[in-house]
């Protein structure tokens, strides 16, 4: 008898471990699979039972519910107050278009058999048949863009590194997922780590790299443990190592754990950190694809970018790029967070409206109060008002609306939010997390927080708003990296979209 | 005089050959590829504001003032980090750029003192004015203006309130100096420069001054700048410490020296410096300076200040009296490696022309004389083959018996830079010197040999190269003497030279030797650098030849990145040798026996030179003790402290009737002197120094002579008083005479030097701008000569009575006998000589760390403090010789190099024992008997042992004796020696000499 109790951090945080233990305590013969999370976080702990007619879901289950589940004969899909029916038929999940997250929540993350049974390694096997050129063409053709936030075409980056001549090249996976309201990297690593390993291996073959590094933040201890186990399994299975799946390619992966600096998610600061130095941003050029880790050509991609590659290879670029709109092709893994009724992972093709994401999937605010603001793209993303709810969720439309998609995190606020306070928070966040290298970011962020504070206090509001806007220009155009460069985005969007919060009068 | 201004082009020059055309502000500019836009603009005279960039450091891109706009590209990139591209169109000025620059500057000004302590020195206010903003709209803000100054370093302050966190200091410490002592602590607004979490004095900082030099504000400032004030004039001159020969701008305010600033265009140092040259110049104006001549009848009398005329007459009369009583050869002189080429040339001329003999030697006798012999024999000239910059092109660097991070710090920084770029390092040294493992550097091999076994190791390395088929035959066939090579190859391939056979002597595992040999031989460019750990041995000359053999066999001569390079100890030791200071050589290393060479000088000087070599320093001491040598002029060298076997030296000095010392200070030698002539410091001299890369640098007077005349005037006056009139209008005239009489200097003049900045000799018609790399197409001697180098263990052996081997060296902050550095604030780092010993040797003798120990050898004993360390292996102890109180040379013996008599400072058998009291009277041994005869016997037998047995060794010995020994020494060898004490080959050589006569 198989029961699925997610081993995902989010599920564990609401008691999944206790639930699993309680089930075993009652019937130790039950095989408990610690799958990844399905991403419907408001339903965690989401317990699933495998039945002849498919997996039946119950949730959110707490440890107190376990005995009643047994009483309701949940092992055979028995009816219970927490019954959700067949998992596949939960509309919140069924309506999504899971590509990158196709296996997350479904399989045992550390079962190579399960991985292969669900299409794993098909992409890598295809890649081994292709020339480097053809492989990179396929990725380029798919329209896949960097999911870390910069949205740079992955294929072009790969081509640059492939064309660089060097005795050593590296694949670096950026898993320093520091944006507030984002958790997709973590959930993918915890739920389907082999996909990431496969994606990195394909990238390595494409550019001729032999060493891979996953830069994983220390705040993700479960992800670190799971990924390490997965790497060990892949190595034992001769998938990683001297001869990748029996081919002439050599590739191995190691994990480097970040020490808790937000800016180390910036790619060049990440390289410095991996090299054992202070996490400080490098000036570009040189591009990391030409001169990256230890001065060698280096591909740096986000977890989601790399994890999408196996599917593109397995099913073909055409299948992938059939989704999406304009130049935003394929799917985006949105993460709904903040004051929202139904938070979690929503993977859909680009082009869904903000409104549909927030209302249809998210179900409005958790508090039930009127929704006032939505921040898209992490702490450096813009604040949108409900007036902008028809915005299409794709790279270009969001930029046109004064925002950015970033890593796909969406944080919802109800009508108690004060956007001046949020703007100040953006500057404070920057002041704390700035690497301290370039002056606009190093000093500007502190001055920004001080100036917004004066506006809130009603001190020379007009002059200080003027000064703040000047500062925003200096930071946007003068900063060395996106940290200082994007901090004005939440500030300015708040000032524009919620100008009433910046009058100096108490809200 | 005005201030010398060196422009700062923001980023380092590109060495790319292909040129790129671009347009900046409408002007077409052509620069090498990879040049930054900033540099392209600044070189063309288009100003771009900047704070975090300086052309000695890689672009950083943090200040964001140098932003520009490029047609067809988004944004406002920093011009320092953006390279030029063909056809690029750049704007450095626009409304937007102006707005951002002002905005950035407002941020700087919001956390920077309105009035900086250093005034105009602060670039923040300078740049702010330039972009038209003086105040900031941010008020009542959080700042760092209440941080406390770090005044712990004796020479500079760190005032964090003025710091703009541009990282220039941190980067200079990393990129230029290579010490990595500085860092940035914390993130964001709290990011501050930190000497790694402690005060500067307690940190890893080596006070090289690179951070002070790099700082654009008053955050890192020379204390003298704050106490004396902004300089008003400057003079370019050359440092008077080690043989690196760094160029400095001496910046003055009126008559007062404010600071020494390393010169970016200085060929040797390219803008870098060390604690000594940069800061430790205070001795020049120390109150201990003697500025008036003094005389006395006996060394027990007090000194009497007299006029120059009286002192000169007194000295000349004394010397003349000796010559009338004991013959023309009873007096001589020692030139100084601290003095200029011009001063040295005049002193050796005084000896040869006015004294009428060849009894002139120089302190190089006790340091690099084996270099002269060894490189002379193999390559044909006595000098390093490369310039310093060459090391940056090396793939493998072999460092033998040298500790550059202490003794040649500015060169060490270059070497570390090369290693950080990927060069591999092989260290041959008994001690674990810093370069074995230091930030950014891990030596590929440390061959930790026992002192005295250099030749065993170099032979073993060569053996592997010869027998493993690693010889670069093409090079050898084209460039080297075939017969000598084939003889050498047979010799070196003998099993007795294998690493396995020699492991027992050297204690270096054979496997390590084999690996190191392969690494070196397979390098594209392999270079060898060495110091006194090579020369100051009984086989010093053999080792130099072994090094030369290795370089030739591996084809590492005649281009950038390779070569054989002695790291010279003193500022002008190369020059003093070049100038004819050795008793057997005239300037330009021409033997005194050559009639053509003598004719040049006989004609120029109107004299008749003696055709035979004069006395070396140790010969002088030996002869003095037996009463044959009675008068000595010694300039700028404290032989009583620095020469080995102090008892012997003191006995010799005591035996003399007229000792004339010329120096800045009363010293150990002047205790035995009858005449004291005050000397001039480098800040008062006008002339040239020649550094270890043969670079002739100008030394220019920064202040008036404190003795009222030039130092060369004193030698001229003494010479004149002796009956040979001599005078020069100025130093330039002396250089003209050097050039006229010395082929390798024929193109050198002060005028050319002032035009070119510096010149590496040979400089003549063929090489009018000098010669950075020697032996490019052929060796100076024609074909490279391989020399057989049999390993002969030194007679100085560890015994039951003296079971440990003592070796000596220097520390960073002190210099040689300490006459200069002990009179500066450098004492804060090193206040006494310390004996380093291994824990096992300490435990065996009940010695605790920091306790007093008695150190004794067969010639003397002294007391110093012990330091237990793993920097020396068991069986080896180490100390420095900077302080007269500790008298390290009371311990060292008069054993010396077989070919040149360079003392064997680096190996002395000693014993140590705990001592309850600190240093008191040094215990000297009584010198009795006939030390001259003893020396003659030992030296003759030593030569015999070192000459290879095959190929008529007696002829080689006879030839050697005629070339380097005085006629009277040869005579004593023939007549006075008990023949039973001589080796049979020496006896054969004597027969040859008799026949010849």
List the beta bridge partners of residue A214. A173, A255
Q: How many domains does chain B have?
A: 5
Burial classification of residue A316, based on how many CB atoms lie within 10 Å of its CB (0-12 exposed, 13-18 middle, 19 or more buried):
middle
Contact B165 A435 (CB under 8 A): no
Smallest Cβ–Cβ distance between B103 and the set A285, A446, A470 belongs to: A470
Q: Please tell me the predicted confidence (pLDDT) of residue B923.
A: 67
- Size (chain B), residues: 997
Whether residues A16 and A87 share a domain: the answer is yes
- Nearest Cα of chain B lies from the Cα of A375 at a distance, in angstroms, of 24
Q: Are residues A116 and A259 in the same domain?
A: yes
- By CB neighbour count within 10 A (0-12 exposed, 13-18 middle, 19+ buried), where does B751 fall? exposed
What is the pLDDT averaged over residues B790-799?
91
Would you say residue B218 lies in a domain?
no
Minimal-distance CA residue of chain B relative to A453: B141
Residues B302 and B325 placed together within one structural domain of the fold: yes
The verdict on a CB contact (< 8 Å) between B188 and A442 is: yes
Closest CA to A202 of A236, A261, A158, A234: A158
Asked whether the beta carbons of A345 and A187 are under 8 A apart, the reply is yes
Instruction: Identify whether A391 is part of a domain.
Output: yes
A117 shares a domain with A79: no
Same-domain check for residues B562 and B431: yes
Average pLDDT over residues B477-496: 96
Question: Residue A304 in contact with residue A313, Cβ under 8 Å?
Answer: no
Q: What pLDDT is recorded for position B921?
A: 64
Instruction: Give me the residue from B96, B167, B189 closest to A431, CB to CB.
Output: B189
B731 near A CB under 8 A: no
Distance between B461 CA and the closest CA of chain A, angstroms: 30
**Shared domain check, B723 and B615:** yes
Which of the listed residues B541, B566, B591 is the one where a domain comes to its end? Answer: B566
Q: What is the pLDDT of residue A506?
A: 63
In a domain, A423, yes or no: yes
Q: What is the DSSP string of B472-483?
A: -HHHHHHHB-HH
What pLDDT, on a 0 to 100 scale, did the predictor assign at position B134?
87
Gyration radius from chain B CA atoms: 29
Tell me if B845 is assigned to some domain.
Answer: yes
Structure-token match 């869904």, residue found: A352
Same domain (yes/no): B511, B617: no
Burial code (b: 16+ CB inside 10 Å, e: under 16) for B563-587 equals: bbbbbbbbbbbbbbbbbbbbbbbbb
Q: Examine residue A107 and state whether it is found in any structural domain, yes or no.
A: no
CB contact under 8 A, B138 and A450: yes
* Minimal C-alpha gap between A306 and chain B (Å): 28
Query: Does residue B598 sit in the same domain as residue B672?
Result: yes
Beta strands in A96-233 (DSSP E): 170-175, 211-217
Q: Where are the beta strands (DSSP E) in B382-512?
A: 396-400, 424-428, 437-438, 441-442, 445-447
Assess whether pLDDT exceeds 80 at residue B79: yes
Alpha-carbon span A182 to A178, nearest angstrom? 8
The answer to whether B82 faces chain A, any CB pair under 8 Å, is yes
Same domain, B468 and B517: yes
Question: Which segments within B368-440 are labelled E, that is strand?
Answer: 396-400, 424-428, 437-438
Q: What's A6's domain CATH number?
A: 3.40.30.10
* Cβ neighbours around B44 below 10 Å, total: 14
- Under DSSP, is residue B227 helix (H, G, I), strand (E, B) or coil? helix
Is B254 exposed, middle or buried, given 0-12, 13-18 or 19+ CB atoms closer than 10 A? exposed
Contact call for residues B192 and B186 (beta carbons, < 8 A): yes
Whether residue A478 and residue B100 make contact (CB cut-off 8 A), yes or no, is yes
Q: How would residue B888 be classed by pLDDT, with cut points 50, 70 and 90?
A: confident
A111 touches B: beta carbon within 8 Å: no
The residue from A321, A348, A365 where one domain ends is A321
Residues A172 and A297 in one domain: yes
Percentage helix, strand, coil for chain B under 3-state DSSP, each rounded to 5:
35, 15, 45
Residue-level pLDDT at B996 = 67
Q: How far from the centroid of its chain's Cα atoms is residue B148's Cα?
A: 38
Angstrom distance (rounded) from CA B525 to CA B517: 14
Q: What is the pLDDT of residues B940-970, one digit of tens each?
A: 999 999 988 777 889 999 999 999 999 999 9
B250 beta partners: B235, B260
Based on the fold, state whether residues B390 and B490 are members of the same structural domain.
yes
Question: Does A102 map to a domain?
Answer: no
If you count DSSP H runs as helices and E runs as strands, how many of each does chain A have, helices first? 22, 16
Please state, as a whole number, how many other Cβ atoms lie within 10 Å of the Cβ of residue B948.
Answer: 14
Handedness of CA A214, A217, A220, A225 (dihedral sign): positive
The CATH number that applies at residue A491 is 1.20.1440.230
pLDDT digits (tens, 9 = 90+) for B586-598: 999 999 999 999 9
> Based on the domain organization, do A155 and A29 belong to the same domain?
no
- Give per-residue pLDDT as tens, B816-859: 888 899 999 999 998 889 999 999 999 999 999 999 999 999 88
What is the CA B488 to chain-centroid distance, rounded?
Answer: 32
8 Å CB contact between B902 and B798: no
> Please, are residues A13 and A62 in contact by the beta-carbon 8 Å criterion?
no
Residue of A nearest to B59 (CA): A283
The B residues from 102 to 121 touching A (CB cutoff 8 Å) are 103-104, 107-108, 110-111
Nearest to A283 among B59, B75, B142 (CB): B59
Residue ranges of B 131-150 with Cβ closer than 8 A to chain A: 137-138, 141-142
Distance CA B731, CA B183 (A): 47
Burial of B236 (0-12, 13-18, 19+ CB in 10 A): buried
Q: Are B344 and B575 in contact (CB under 8 A)?
A: yes
Whether B721 contacts chain A with CB within 8 A? no
Residue A243 maps to a domain? yes
Q: Which of B158, B137, B144, B164 is nearest to B205 (CA)?
A: B158
Instruction: Please answer whether residues B29 and B9 qualify as being in contact, where contact means their C-beta atoms are separated by less than 8 angstroms.
Output: no
User: Does residue B392 register a pLDDT over 60?
Assistant: yes
Give the residue among A393, A411, A398, A383 at the shortest CA–CA distance from A496: A383
* Cβ neighbour number for residue B362 with a 10 Å cutoff: 33
* Domain closes at, from A34, A61, A94: A94
Number of domains into which chain A is organized: 4
Q: Tell me, yes or no, whether A126 lies in a domain.
A: yes
Rounded CA gap, A463 and B775, in Å? 72
A399 and A433, same domain (yes or no): no
Asked if residue A446 lies in contact with residue B189, where contact means CB atoms within 8 angstroms, the answer is yes
Q: Is B405 within the bounds of a domain? A: yes
Residues A358 and A234 in one domain: no
What residues pair up with B262 in beta bridges, in sequence order?
A: B248
Per-residue pLDDT of chain A (507 residues; tens, 9 = 90+): 899 999 999 999 999 999 999 999 999 999 999 999 999 999 999 999 999 999 999 999 999 999 999 999 999 999 999 999 999 999 999 999 999 999 999 999 999 999 999 999 999 999 999 999 999 999 999 999 999 999 999 999 999 999 999 999 999 999 999 999 999 999 999 999 999 999 999 999 999 999 999 999 999 999 999 999 999 999 999 999 999 999 999 999 999 999 889 999 999 999 999 999 999 999 999 999 999 999 999 999 999 999 999 999 999 999 999 999 999 999 999 999 999 999 999 999 999 999 999 999 999 999 999 999 999 999 999 999 999 999 999 999 999 999 999 999 999 999 999 999 999 999 999 999 999 999 999 999 999 999 999 999 999 999 999 999 999 999 999 999 999 999 999 999 999 999 999 998 765
Which residue from A280, A445, A473 is facing B103, i.e. has the nearest CB? Answer: A473
Q: Is A432 on the interface with B (CB under 8 A)?
A: yes
Question: In what helix (H) or strand (E) does residue A190 lie, and over which residues does it extend?
Answer: helix A184-191
Do residues A395 and A405 make contact, with C-beta atoms less than 8 angstroms apart?
Answer: yes
Half-sphere exposure of B930 (CA within 13 A, CB side): 11
Does residue B219 belong to any structural domain of this protein? Answer: no
> How far is it, in rounded angstroms, from Cα B526 to Cα B39?
33
How far apart (Å, rounded) are the C-alpha atoms in residues B516 and B507?
15
B452 lies in the same domain as B546: yes
A332 and A266, same structural domain? no
Both A290 and A249 in one domain: the answer is yes
Rounded Cα distance between A176 and A216, Å, is 5
Final residue before a domain boundary, out of B89, B108, B130? B130
Q: Smallest Cα–Cα separation from B616: which of B594, B638, B585, B637?
A: B585
Mark whether A331 and A387 lie in a shared domain. Answer: yes
Q: What is the pLDDT of residue A456?
A: 96
Per CB-CB distance under 8 Å, the chain B contacts of A284 are 81
Give B676's pLDDT tier (boundaries 50, 70, 90): very high
How many cross-chain Cβ pairs, A to B, lie less than 8 Å apart? 110
Output the domain CATH number for residue B698. 3.40.50.740
CA distance B64 to chain A (A): 6
Give kind and range of the element (H or E) at residue B697. strand B695-699
**In a shared domain, residues B750 and B812:** no
Instruction: Please report the ipTM that was assigned to this predicted complex.
Output: 0.94
Boundary-marking domain end, from A410, A432, A467: A410
CA angle B941, B944, B950 (to 5 degrees): 160
Is residue A477 less than 8 Å (CB to CB) from chain B? yes
- Spatial separation of the C-alpha atoms in residues A120 and A27, rounded to whole Å: 32
Q: What is the CATH number of the domain that holds A377?
A: 3.10.20.600
Tell me what the mean pLDDT of segment B142-147 comes to. 93
Under DSSP, the state recorded for A358 is I
CA angle B668, B674, B680 (to 5 degrees): 65
The residue out of B760, B787, B816 marking a domain boundary is B760
Residue B394 lies in a domain: yes
Mean model confidence pLDDT for chain A: 96
Alpha helices in B239-352 (DSSP H): 275-279, 308-326, 341-349
Q: Which residues lie below 8 Å from residue A360, measured CB to CB, with a gap of 6+? A: none
Shortest distance between the Cα of A143 and any Cα of chain B, in A, equals 23
Q: Which residues contact B468 (CB under 8 A, 6 or more apart)?
A: B514, B517, B518, B521
Is residue B535 included in any domain, yes or no? yes
Quick check: is B142 in a domain? no
- Classify residue A122: in a domain, yes or no: yes
Contact list, A441 vs chain B (CB under 8 Å): 188
A340 and A233: one domain? no
Note whether A79 and A207 are same-domain residues: no
Q: What is the CATH number of the domain that holds A266?
A: 3.40.50.11540
Q: Is residue A103 part of a domain?
A: no
Q: B80 with B38, same domain?
A: yes
pLDDT at B684 (0 to 100): 96
A386 vs A347, A389, B6, CA distance in Å?
22, 5, 61
Please report residues of A whose CB lies closer than 8 A to that of B184.
278, 280, 436
Residues B890 and B878 reside in one and the same domain: yes
Residues B545 and B445 in one domain: yes
Residues of A in contact with B186 (CB under 8 A): 436
| E-assigned strand segments in B768-832 | 804-809
pLDDT tens sequence across B183-216:
999 999 999 999 988 999 999 999 999 999 999 9
Residue B880 and residue B631 in contact, taking contact as beta carbons nearer than 8 Å: no
Contacts of A471 in chain B (CB under 8 A): 103
Q: What is the mean pLDDT of residues B435-459?
A: 96
We report the CATH number of the domain holding residue B900 as 2.40.40.20
Whether B918 shows a pLDDT value over 80: the answer reads no
Rg of chain A over all Cα atoms, to the nearest angstrom: 23
Domain that holds residue A171: 112-321
Higher pLDDT residue, A93 or B795? A93
Reported residue count of chain A is 507
User: For residue B922, is pLDDT > 70?
Assistant: no
Write out the residue range of the structural domain in which residue B955 sits.
931-996
Q: Looking at the domain assignment, is residue B267 inside a domain?
A: no
Closest Cβ–Cβ partner in A437, A440, A447 for B141: A447
CA distances for B678 relative to B289, B308, B699, B718, B989, angstroms: 8, 10, 19, 14, 46
| Contacts of the segment B101-105: beta carbons below 8 A, 24+ positions apart | B101/B49, B101/B65, B101/B67, B101/B131, B102/B131, B102/B132, B102/B133, B103/A440, B103/A470, B103/A471, B103/A473, B103/A474, B103/A478, B104/A439, B104/A440, B104/A474, B104/A478, B104/B63, B104/B64, B104/B65, B105/B65, B105/B131, B105/B133
């Amino acid at each position: 008898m198989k029961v699925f109790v997610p081993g995902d951090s989010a599920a564990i945080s609401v008691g999944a471990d206790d639930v699993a233990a309680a089930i075993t305590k009652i019937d130790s013969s039950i095989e408990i699979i610690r799958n990844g999370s399905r991403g419907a976080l408001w339903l965690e702990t989401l317990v699933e039972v495998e039945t002849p007619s498919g997996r039946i879901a119950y949730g959110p289950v707490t440890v107190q519910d376990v005995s009643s589940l047994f009483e309701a004969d949940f092992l055979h899909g028995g009816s219970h107050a927490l019954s959700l029916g067949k998992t596949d038929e939960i509309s919140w999940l069924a309506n999504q278009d899971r590509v990158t997250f196709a296996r997350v929540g479904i399989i045992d993350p550390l079962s190579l058999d399960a991985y292969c049974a669900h299409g794993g390694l098909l992409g890598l096997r295809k890649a081994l048949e292709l020339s480097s050129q053809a492989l990179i063409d396929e990725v380029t053709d798919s329209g896949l863009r960097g999911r870390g936030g910069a949205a740079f075409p992955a294929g072009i980056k790969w081509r640059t590194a492939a064309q660089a001549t060097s005795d050593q090249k590296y694949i670096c996976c950026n898993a320093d997922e520091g944006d507030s309201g984002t958790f997709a990297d973590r959930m993918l690593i915890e739920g389907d780590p082999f996909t990431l390993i496969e994606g990195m291996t394909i990238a390595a073959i494409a550019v001729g790299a032999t060493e891979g590094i996953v830069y994983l933040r220390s705040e993700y201890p479960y992800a670190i443990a799971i990924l390490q186990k997965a790497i060990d399994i892949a190595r034992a299975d001769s998938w990683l190592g001297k001869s990748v799946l029996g081919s002439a390619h050599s590739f191995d992966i190691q994990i480097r754990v970040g020490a808790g600096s937000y800016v180390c998610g910036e790619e060049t600061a990440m390289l410095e950190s991996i090299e054992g130095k202070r996490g400080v941003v490098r000036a570009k050029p040189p591009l990391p694809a030409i001169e990256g880790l230890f001065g060698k050509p280096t591909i740096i991609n986000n977890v989601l970018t790399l994890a999408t590659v196996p599917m593109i290879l397995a099913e073909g670029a055409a299948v992938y790029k059939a989704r999406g709109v304009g130049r935003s092709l394929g799917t985006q893994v949105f993460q709904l967070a903040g004051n929202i009724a139904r938070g979690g992972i929503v993977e859909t093709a680009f082009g869904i409206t903000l409104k549909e994401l927030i209302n249809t999937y998210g179900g409005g605010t958790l508090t039930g109060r009127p929704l006032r603001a939505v921040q898209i793209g992490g702490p450096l993303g813009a604040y949108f008002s409900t007036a902008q709810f028809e915005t299409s969720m794709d790279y270009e439309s969001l930029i046109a609306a004064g925002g950015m998609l970033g890593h796909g995190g969406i944080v919802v606020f109800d009508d108690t939010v004060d956007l001046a306070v949020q703007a100040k928070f953006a500057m404070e966040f920057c002041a704390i997390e700035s690497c301290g290298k370039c002056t606009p970011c190093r000093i500007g962020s502190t001055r920004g927080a001080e100036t917004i504070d004066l506006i809130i206090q009603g001190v020379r509001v007009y002059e200080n708003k003027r000064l703040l806007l000047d500062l925003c220009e200096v930071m946007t155009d003068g900063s060395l990296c996106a940290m200082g460069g994007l901090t004005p985005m939440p500030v300015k969007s708040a000032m524009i979209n919620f100008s009433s919060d910046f009058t100096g009068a108490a809200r | 005089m005005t201030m010398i201004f060196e422009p700062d082009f923001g980023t380092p020059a590109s060495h790319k050959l292909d040129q790129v055309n671009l347009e900046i502000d409408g002007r077409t500019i052509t620069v090498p590829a990879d040049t930054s836009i900033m540099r392209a603009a600044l070189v063309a005279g288009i100003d771009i504001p900047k704070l975090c960039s300086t052309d000695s450091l890689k672009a950083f891109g943090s200040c964001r003032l140098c932003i520009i706009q490029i047609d067809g590209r988004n944004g406002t990139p920093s011009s320092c980090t953006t390279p030029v591209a063909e056809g690029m169109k750049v704007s450095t000025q626009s409304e937007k750029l102006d707005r951002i620059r002002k905005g950035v500057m407002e941020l700087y000004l919001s956390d920077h003192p309105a009035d900086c302590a250093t005034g105009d020195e602060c670039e923040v206010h300078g740049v702010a004015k330039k972009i038209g903003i003086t105040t900031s709209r941010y008020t009542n803000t959080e700042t760092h203006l209440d941080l406390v100054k770090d005044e712990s370093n004796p020479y500079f302050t760190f005032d964090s309130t003025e710091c703009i966190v541009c990282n220039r200091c941190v980067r200079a410490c990393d990129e230029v100096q290579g010490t990595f002592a500085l860092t940035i602590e914390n993130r964001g607004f709290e990011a501050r420069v930190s000497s790694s979490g402690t005060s500067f004095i307690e940190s890893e900082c080596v006070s090289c001054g690179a951070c002070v030099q790099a700082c654009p504000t008053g955050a890192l400032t020379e204390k003298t700048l704050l106490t004396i004030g902004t300089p008003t004039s400057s003079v370019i001159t050359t440092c008077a410490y080690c043989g690196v020969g760094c160029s400095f701008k001496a910046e003055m305010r009126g008559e007062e020296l404010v600071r020494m600033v390393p010169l970016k265009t200085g060929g040797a140092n390219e803008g870098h410096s060390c604690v000594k040259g940069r800061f430790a110049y205070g001795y020049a104006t120390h109150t201990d300076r003697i500025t008036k001549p003094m005389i006395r009848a006996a060394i027990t009398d007090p000194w009497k200040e007299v006029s120059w005329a009286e002192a000169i007459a007194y000295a000349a009369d004394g010397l003349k009296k000796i010559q009338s009583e004991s013959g023309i050869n009873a007096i001589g002189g020692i030139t100084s490696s601290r003095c200029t080429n011009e001063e040295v040339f005049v002193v050796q001329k005084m000896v040869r022309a006015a004294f009428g003999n060849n009894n002139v030697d120089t302190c190089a006798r006790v340091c690099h004389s084996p270099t002269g012999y060894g490189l002379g024999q193999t390559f044909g000239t006595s000098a390093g083959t490369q310039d310093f910059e060459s090391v940056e092109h090396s793939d493998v660097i072999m460092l033998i018996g040298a500790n550059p991070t202490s003794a040649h710090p500015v060169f060490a920084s270059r070497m570390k830079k090369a290693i950080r770029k990927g060069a591999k390092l092989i260290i041959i040294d008994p001690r674990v010197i810093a370069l074995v493992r230091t930030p950014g550097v891990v030596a590929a091999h440390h061959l930790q040999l026992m002192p005295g076994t250099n030749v065993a190791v170099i032979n073993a390395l060569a053996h592997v190269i010869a027998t493993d088929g690693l010889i670069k035959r093409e090079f050898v066939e084209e460039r080297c003497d075939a017969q000598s090579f084939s003889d050498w190859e047979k010799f070196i391939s003998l099993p007795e030279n294998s690493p396995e056979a020699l492991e027992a002597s050297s204690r270096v595992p054979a496997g390590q030797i084999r690996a190191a040999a392969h690494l070196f031989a397979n390098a594209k460019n392999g270079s060898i650098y060495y110091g006194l750990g090579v020369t100051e041995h009984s086989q010093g000359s053999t080792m130099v030849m072994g090094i030369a053999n290795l370089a030739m066999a591996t084809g590492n001569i005649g281009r950038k990145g390779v070569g054989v390079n002695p790291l010279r100890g003193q500022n002008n030791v190369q020059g003093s040798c070049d100038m004819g200071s050795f008793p057997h050589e005239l300037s330009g290393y021409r033997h005194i026996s050559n009639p053509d060479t003598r004719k040049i000088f006989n004609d120029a000087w109107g004299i008749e030179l003696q055709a035979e070599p004069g006395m070396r320093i140790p010969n002088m001491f030996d002869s003095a003790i037996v009463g044959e040598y009675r008068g000595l002029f010694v300039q700028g060298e404290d032989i009583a402290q620095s020469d080995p076997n102090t008892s012997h030296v003191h006995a010799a000095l005591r035996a003399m009737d007229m000792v004339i010392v010329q120096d800045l200070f009363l010293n150990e030698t002047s205790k035995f002197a009858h005449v004291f002539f005050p000397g001039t410091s480098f800040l008062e001299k006008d002339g040239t120094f020649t550094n270890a890369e043969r670079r002739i640098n100008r030394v220019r007077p920064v202040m008036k002579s404190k003795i009222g005349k030039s130092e060369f005037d004193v030698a001229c006056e003494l010479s004149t008083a002796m009956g040979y009139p001599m005078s020069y209008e100025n130093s330039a005239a002396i250089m003209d005479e050097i050039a006229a009489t010395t082929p390798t200097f024929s193109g050198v003049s002060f005028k050319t030097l002032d035009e070119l900045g510096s010149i590496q000799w040979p400089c003549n018609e063929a090489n009018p701008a000098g010669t950075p790399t020697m032996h490019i197409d052929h060796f100076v001697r024609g074909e490279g000569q391989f020399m057989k180098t049999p390993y002969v263990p030194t007679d100085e052996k560890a015994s039951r009575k003296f079971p440990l081997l003592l070796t000596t060296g220097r520390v960073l902050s002190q210099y040689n006998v300490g006459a200069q550095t002990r009179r500066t604030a450098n004492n804060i780092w090193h206040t006494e000589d310390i004996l380093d010993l291994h824990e096992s040797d300490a435990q065996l003798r009940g010695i605790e760390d920091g306790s007093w120990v008695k150190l004794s050898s067969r010639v003397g004993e002294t007391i110093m403090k012990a330091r237990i360390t793993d920097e020396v292996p068991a069986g080896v102890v180490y100390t420095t010789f900077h302080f007269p109180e500790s008298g390290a040379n009371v311990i060292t013996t008069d054993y010396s190099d077989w070919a040149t008599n360079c003392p064997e400072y680096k190996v002395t058998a000693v014993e140590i024992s705990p001592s309850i009291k600190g240093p008191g009277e040094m215990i000297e041994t009584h010198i009795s008997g006939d030390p001259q005869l003893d020396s003659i016997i030992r030296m003759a037998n030593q030569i015999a042992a070192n000459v290879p047995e095959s190929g008529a060794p007696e002829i080689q010995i006879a030839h050697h004796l005629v070339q380097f020994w005085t006629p009277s020494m040869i005579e004593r060898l023939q007549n006075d020696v008990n023949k039973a004490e001589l080796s049979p080959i020496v006896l054969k050589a004597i027969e040859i000499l008799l026949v010849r006569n």
